[in-house]
Amino acid sequence: MARILITSALPYINGIKHLGNLVGSQLPADLYARYMRGRGHEVMFICATDEHGTPAELAAAKAGKPVADYCAEMHDTQGELARGFRLSFDHYGRSSSPQNHALTQHLAARLGQAGLIEEVTEKQVYSITDARFLPDRYIEGTCPNCGYDRARGDQCENCTKQLDPTDLVNPRSAISGATDLEVRETKHLFLRQSALRDRLDQWIDSQQGWPVLTTSIAKKWLHDGNGLQDRGITRDLDWGVPAQFDGAPWQGMDGKVFYVWFDAPIEYIAATAEWAEAQGLDEAAWRRWWREDEGADDVRYVQFMGKDNVPFHTLSFPATLMGSGEPWKMVDYIKSFNYLNYDGGQFSTSLGRGVFMDQALSILPADYWRWWLLSHAPESSDAEFTWENFQASVNKDLADVLGNLASRVTKFCRSKFGEVVPEGGAYGPREDQLIADLTTRLRAYEAHMEAMEIRKSASELRALWVLGNEYLQDAAPWSTFKTDPEAAAAQIRLALNLIRVYAIVSRPFIPDAAASLMQAMGSDDWSWPEDLGAALATLPAGHAFTVPDVLFAKITDEQRADWETRFAGTR
């Protein structure tokens, strides 16, 4: 039994996430966690809300609430949706937790003591009306290059020219439109990532089999231009982890907080500490997952994230852990994803374009979404959601191939033998062949799951379901029954057992349907079918079962048309 630590990129607090966000980190992480638990491994699956930063403060202001209250509410909202999608976090924490405050300050102090923190005084744009410093992209104005009047301070969206906020003509605050902006000096702490460049480079080189997407982004940042740049890790904000604290190896940082990207990954660790506290366990309980000197040396740590998160997970966070000089567990494998687009364009929160997590659950059960999203996960390139594809995939795979199989087997048995596993007859060559075929497919499925090849895993799982239909067609118990009822009994006994096996192997993808199937088979034995012959003999003759309700109702053309219109966006 292995110990596997799994973290999903933290969803940002400022609103409900869309399906693209879901499939980019939390959902595949959940798939992997569920699979590894199913195989009997010890899993720690961690997620949390990422609560700091300018957008959180602005969202709270817009909602007319104190930021702490806003975050607490959104944390609960997102948590409820996570439960709705059956995301099986061992702990769902908050980057604003006391544990994260303490750990972030601890690591920052260690970095400071190691000489890896530098104080830098820089000039930034301050908005008097908004009473805050403005990040470059929160300043708008006319592009000096092309004259576009809604250019942002970091780049003009129209002509793509890189800009400095002071380049803008008639600059204004993107928050309030205020024009009373001025350049002020402010002091910040910088993490001297450049000093760790060679160690990071060697560390990346030592990793085997990481997705190209992951390593190419890391390498780009390491070697582009003058190489890895130092990075500011503090901001002039109210809400966050205070950068000035007892024991800090610097002075004059009062009123400043750590940068959200500094404290967010640390929350992976802190959330595990939150977990320990919530479970009533001691410090050692979480440290054995994260400290190589306290038991984490045999942990395999896998991170899941969208490609936009890669630089922070391959460089900044490792730099933080390495630079601390303490034996923190570093990531072993980074699974990164491309983006999911919506019907020919991007998901858009502001335009209400695309399907968001709350809307998705309001129209269909989680398993439908889980199946489609995972079987179309954007692994090799960006993927696209269309209602037509969604309807076709879900109806065919879930309703026809899997759902109907369970239905035909249980209803046939009920009508001919009653609602018990029938006795009599014996397995022959056809059954041996089925077991052999299932074994081949299952081993392939396992290999793909181990390798986190998600689409391939889904395709192999579907092929496992198809084998059941092929067997039934070939064995034709409805025919056999007329001449040799005992043979039909053996065939149906096998088929009923197969349904239980399908429940087990399908559970990582479609946990609710899997539970329904298992319940219908009157069993609670979820042990992984290492030996399919044995697994298919688990339900003995005479064992009672029930005919499950329709497992997956089909999506009708009317529904599809309705949803297509409803989620197209306001303009």
Among 54, 78, 234, 457, contact with RNA (rule: CB under 7 A):
54
Amino acid identity of 30? D
What would the DSSP string read from start to end of 165-196? GGGSEEEEETTT----EEEEEEEEEEE-GGGG
**Nearer Cβ to RNA (99/491):** 491
Q: Which stretch binds RNA (CB under 7 A): 35-43, 304-312, 421-429, 433-441?
A: 304-312
Rounded CA gap, 118 and 192, in Å?
7
- Of 62, 150, 184, 396, the one binding RNA (CB under 7 A) is 396
**Around Cβ 89, how many Cβ atoms within 10 Å?**
23
- Residue 404 CA from chain centroid, whole number: 30
Which CB sits closer to RNA, 271 or 276? 271
Interaction with RNA in 31-50: which residues (CB under 7 A)?
Answer: 50
In the window 403-422, what residues touch RNA (CB under 7 A)? 403-404, 406-409, 411-412, 415
Residues, the chain: 571
- Residue 226 · residue 44 · CB < 8 Å: no
Q: Does 518 bind RNA (CB under 7 A)?
A: no
Which region among 102-110, 231-239, 417-425, 538-546 touches RNA (by CB under 7 A)? 231-239
Q: What's the token pair of residue 401?
A: 């191939």
User: Would residue 361 be called left, alpha or beta, if left means φ above 0 and alpha means ψ between -120 and 50 degrees?
Assistant: alpha
Q: How far is the CB of 409 from RNA (least distance, A)?
A: 7
Dihedral sign for Cα 232, 235, 240, 243, please: positive
Is 560 a residue that touches RNA (CB under 7 A)? no
Q: What is the 3-state secondary structure (H, E, C) of 466-493?
A: HHHHHHHHHHCHHHHHHHCHHHHHHHHH
Determine which residue in the list 85, 258, 259, 337 makes contact with RNA, applying CB under 7 A: 259
Give me the phi and psi of 464, to 5 degrees please. Answer: -65, -40
What is the identity of the amino acid at 416?
Answer: K
Out of 208, 350, 381, 565, the only residue in the binding site for RNA (CB under 7 A) is 381
- Give min distance, CB of 507 to RNA, in A: 17
- Counting contacts by CB under 7 A, is residue 478 touching RNA? yes
Helices 366-375, 511-520: axis angle to 10 degrees equals 120
Where in 169-228 is the site for RNA (CB under 7 A)? Answer: 193, 212-213, 216-217, 220-221, 224-225, 227-228
Q: At what angle do helices 485-506 and 454-475 cross, to 10 degrees?
A: 170
What tokens were used for 5?
Answer: 């630590």
Structure-block tokens of residue 504:
């087990």
Residue 47: exposed, middle, or buried by beta-carbon count in 10 A (0-12, 13-18, 19+)? Answer: buried
State in angstroms the smallest separation of the CB of 534 from RNA: 25
* Minimum gap (Å) between residue 284 Cβ and RNA: 31
- Minimum separation from the CB atom of position 217 to RNA (A): 6
DSSP string covering 384-405, please? EE-HHHHHHHIIIIIIIIIIHH
Site for RNA in 9-28 (CB under 7 A): 12
- Binding positions for RNA, 90-119, rule CB under 7 A: none
Check if the beta carbon of residue 286 is closer than 8 Å to that of residue 41: no
Residues 133-162 that bind RNA (CB under 7 A): 135-137, 153-155, 160, 162
Give least dist CB 387 to RNA, A.
Answer: 12
Structural contact between residues 129 and 180, judged by C-beta atoms closer than 8 angstroms: yes
Site map 261..290 versus RNA, x via CB under 7 A: x--x--------------------------
Over the window 436 to 475, marking each residue x when it contacts RNA by CB under 7 A and - when it does not, the resulting string is -------------------x---x------x--xx-xxx-
CB of 139 to RNA, least distance (A): 9
- 479 interacts with RNA by CB under 7 A: yes
Task: Decide if residue 496 touches RNA (CB under 7 A).
Answer: no
| Helix, strand, or coil (residue 530) | coil
C-beta of 37: minimal distance to RNA in Å?
26
Q: Which of 69, 76, 80, 122 binds RNA (CB under 7 A)?
A: 122
Residues numbered 358 to 377 that lie near RNA (CB under 7 A) are 376
